[in-house]
Amino acid sequence: MPSENPGFSTLAVHAGAQPDPTTGARVTPIYQTTAYVFKDADHAANLFALKEFGNIYTRIMNPTQAVLEERVAALEGGTAALAVASGHAAQVLVFHTLMQPGDNFVAAKKLYGGSINQFGHSFKSFGWEVRWADTDDVASFEKQIDGRTKAIFIESLANPAGTFVDIEAISEVARKHGLPLIVDNTMASPYLVRPLEHGADIIVHSATKFLGGHGNSMGGVIVDGGTFDWSKSGKYPALSEPRPEYNGIVLHQALGNIAFAIACRVLGLRDLGPAIAPMNAFLILTGIETLPLRMQRHCDNALKVAEWLKGHDKVAWVSYSGLKDDPNHALQQRYSPKGAGAVFTFGVKGGYAAGKALVEGLQLFSHLANIGDTRSLVIHPASTTHAQLTEEQQIAAGAGPDVVRLSVGIEDVEDIIGDLEQSLAKI
């Protein structure tokens, strides 16, 4: 690219990509192969010893995947990235690199229901403990930290509540205790928020959502901010101690500010195996090209829908940070002045039954468990994504019995509002 500091939209189209050197194809090809021929025996040996970077086996890396990784790292302002099979896979690899049995991490209560379930139940099988904290009370994070705490985890824009989090305040707590701050940036995308600029150290994405944006492919991404000193405390042996499987190499010493992303690849992805399919990497790359256009339309539509719902007599409340009287509006303006995102919640008068009835009456909206699609999507979290939680936990997560979550698409906003209007009229 001719500019030393290309803009976001330029990066979304071009970062990481070059015309194919063999065919001249302008679009990044789908490299549908399992393995790659080595130049010679020394080349093979150097790849396996991490003395040289290159392709070995598609479970570990793939050329289509590599372009996706470079593009997302560029959009987030990170030093390196790793693309994997899903957002959940990304989280597993991050904590697999950081944690040992008996360790714990502190996570925000307001999270995607699948993350709450993963952290609170599945992670127990690894001997990892999650400790919950309240993003509205930053001091609650510090109260949960002890000598075995290895990280703090938050979402930049909480799912399903659609509320922005004070990343900088929580980052100060992490810095004070020498812990990396991990931020799930799925809901905001780097178009709205770049958490590394506010003190985050590691970013995770479900690329299935807004990055891909078309509901056609699964993927996850880990972005290394290159900001954390993995050797300082001795708490992160995967990065600061010799690795016997790589002839005693110390990853942080050898790889510097890309060490975490490489560790997730060569220690986690290599052995646990949640590789992204080349076809999915291709589809997500294609989606990212229109990310800035889509995200702005999402935000513009969502604000109009939220304003309309707020004035409806069958709606009890609307939680959307873009509304000027919303308690979260100041944080939205501080962290995401371009808009408040596509996803928000509201309550229908009549509680659980009314919320389900609204969902069932919609026609343009698709009732499914996803967000970030070009299409408008709806779900009733208490009966679906957060059903495994107690009512108290649902309320704490912003998914109480009356809550309906919308992911507002890029259709004509008059049609989106019209669909909500006809369904509300039936209740």
Q: What's the pLDDT tens digit per position in 37-56?
A: 999 999 999 999 999 999 99
Give the orientation angle of helix 63-76 with respect to helix 278-288, to 10 degrees: 30
Whole-number pLDDT of residue 387: 77
Tokens of 10: 């330029």
Please state the pTM of the whole predicted model. 0.95
Q: Where are the beta strands (DSSP E) in 143-265?
A: 149-155, 181-184, 202-206, 220-224
Strands 315-319 and 80-84: unpaired
Does residue 399 carry a pLDDT above 70? Answer: yes
Does residue 397 carry a pLDDT above 90? Answer: no
Average pLDDT value for the chain: 95
Does residue 398 carry a pLDDT above 80? Answer: no
CA distance 68 to 66: 5
Residue pointed to by tokens 């305040």: 169
pLDDT tens sequence across 197-247: 999 999 999 999 999 999 999 999 999 999 999 999 999 999 999 999 999
pLDDT tens sequence across 160-175: 888 999 999 999 999 9
* 203 against 20, higher pLDDT: 203
Task: Give all domains of the chain, ordered by start, each with its CATH number.
Answer: 15-287 (3.40.640.10), 293-426 (3.90.1150.10)
Find the mean pLDDT for residues 15-39.
94
CA distance 20 to 100: 42
Percent residues over pLDDT 70 in the chain: 99
Find the mean pLDDT for residues 362-375.
95
Q: How confident is the model at residue 368 (pLDDT cuts 50, 70, 90)?
A: very high
Does residue 357 carry a pLDDT above 80? Answer: yes
What per-residue string of b and e applies to 84-116 under the rule 16 or more CB within 10 Å gives b? Answer: bbbbbbbbbbbbbbbbeeebbbbbbbbbbbbbb
Whole-number pLDDT of residue 43: 96
Whole-number pLDDT of residue 1: 63
Does residue 319 carry a pLDDT above 80? Answer: yes
Using CA atoms, how far residue 150 sits from 103, 134, 180, 426, in Å, is: 7, 18, 7, 50
CA distance 300 to 322: 10
Whole-number pLDDT of residue 391: 83
**Which residues are registered as beta bridge partners of 319?**
345
Find the mean pLDDT for residues 96-104.
98
- Helix, strand, or coil (residue 107): strand
Query: For residue 47, what are the contacts with CB-CB under 8 A and spacing of at least 6?
Result: 38, 53, 54, 56
Does residue 395 carry a pLDDT above 90? Answer: no
